[in-house]
Amino acid sequence: MSRLFKYSKNFYVLFTLFFIIWMVFIDSNDVVSQFKLRAKLKELENQKEFYLERKEKIKADREELMSNYELLEKFARERYYMKKKTEDLYVVVEE
- Whether residue 87 is contained in a domain is answered as no
- Whether residue 91 is contained in a domain is answered as no
pLDDT digit string, tens, across residues 7-56:
777 888 889 999 989 888 888 888 889 999 999 999 999 999 999 999 99
- Whether residue 93 is contained in a domain is answered as no
- Whether residue 71 is contained in a domain is answered as yes
- Whether residue 25 is contained in a domain is answered as yes
The rounded distance, in Å, linking the Cα atoms of 9 and 5 is: 7
Nearest to 61 by CA among 77, 49, 72, 76: 72
Q: What residue numbers bound the domain in which 45 lies?
A: 2-80
State the total domains in the chain.
1
pLDDT digit string, tens, across residues 2-18:
676 777 778 888 899 99
